[in-house]
Amino acid sequence: MTSGTSSFCQDGQNGGISAPETVPEGGTLVVQVRSGVKEVALLVPGVGLVRVPVHNGLVEYPVPPQATGGSSILVSDEAYPDPSGASVLITGAF
């Protein structure tokens, strides 16, 4: 499902977002969200704001070449009134 680390961080009292701490350049970012969330907003370096639909509680987003190692992807479910978010560090290819 993903390449990279299997360690996940959670945000929100109800586990609003589960996202990996890191994702490799060219890998796939997989984010798990709470029920009821229809899309997730990602702020991707070199790309800008991207909205990705949720399927079966998951968001999968291939990290584009413009997003290089050392930068971070910001993730938000933009849920009102209790939004959750996470930051995912992009690691360089080895």
CATH code, 21: 2.60.40.10
pTM above 0.85, yes or no: no
- Has residue 64 been placed in a domain? yes
What DSSP state is assigned to residue 64?
P
- Has residue 1 been placed in a domain? no
CA pseudo-torsion sign 49, 25, 17, 56: positive
Tens of pLDDT along 36-53? 899 999 999 999 999 999
Tens of pLDDT along 54-85? 999 999 999 999 999 999 999 999 988 889 99
Q: How many domains does the chain have?
A: 1
Range of the domain at 69: 8-91
- Has residue 43 been placed in a domain? yes
- Has residue 53 been placed in a domain? yes
- Has residue 3 been placed in a domain? no
